[in-house]
Structure 1
């Protein structure tokens, strides 16, 4: 794991390590592997996004559910995961993401399992992964895909991708710089998330997606755009740049009407819009 001295990720890693120690004490790696072996087949997160794009000719939205964010204030104190997941599915999200980190995102694998039981959409577990045990946790909770950071995993990225594949999870490799794009491609990634936000500094750099997406071979890799996105214009702009899906979280969850924001992003005209027009 690569962690610069000034990385703002350090407290999250420390807290996650503590959680993992407790989890491993309750259930060993061998025990969790046994349970994962009994799980039904995953639903194909990457395939669902590709199918949405083929059917609609526009990027699908991965709607992220989370209880907080270290980047933004104004989040709700209680997240109705089941109801929101059902609303996002009804509105037309292509897939869902569930943040499972507790310290700042106030999420858990229990929340992911709740969402899994509520909808038929494919699910992405949004975690800070640095231990293969976390991959198995995600699989056991009902995830169809996990996020792997090229910046965090470095030369271990290929091995983590292989471990995810071994339990039928799609690995969405997150990148923020040209060097990380190169690393992801060398590791064999065919599913890449280009983010405007750096994982270590938390800095948001608008335009990163548009700058990096052209570096990725469109015929071999399905690209997701993320980081500070939340409007119809964002979806259209990133679609024109080559993204096949767009991940949106804060723009949805910080609003009093998350499903309403998703409707706007998807360009769905509501009754109120029709009356106003």
Structure 2
């Protein structure tokens, strides 16, 4: 429990520098935050959901996998690679899994479990933490798969470096920051403005730019939107109205429950 509390404290503190930089070097005119209370509710809910997932789903799964002898032999062989190579390979593999799981979350079957993450009309590091329970479970699967292929948790320094990088990348991609040489960087890595396109309310933008770390999976599979091609004036958030409670719980849209009678 103490480790989890420290993790969430760091999660919040790590976002402050990105908030300051966004004020100093904004990429676009971000509307003021009008749902601060809901953002903090979302942060608390995400902490609870993640704790439940880690204790009752992810940890038991890892425990079962750790007893598979053939898997242990493979993992020991994989970890003979140099640590920097393991770290880079892990990020590429994880981003590949993240791409497909993220893309599937935008399907008609899973969208409503993911919509809460897209509901904020002002994007900054805390709004980037909006997650329903199924969203948390679904997006932890890529981490589990990547750990099976390259168990970096056996390298303490590599694992710690990844944990720090993942938190910083989450905050960085959900920050309204203008980077120097961003057009050049975007040939390889996801910049804030690339991910901000993904949070626009128009579905043609929402259903693009799924990658977390690198842009090449989006380019390879035809889902990359160049920020320079985005129309002006498209707001952030959803293209429909929905209850925040419903979104937080990841439930089906209310307008699908209660159809208006046709005359």
TM (normalized to structure 2)?
Answer: 0.32
Q: Considering only CA atoms, is the larger Rg found in Structure 1 or Structure 2?
A: 2
- Of Structure 1 and Structure 2, the greater helix share is in 2
TM (normalized to structure 1)?
Answer: 0.31
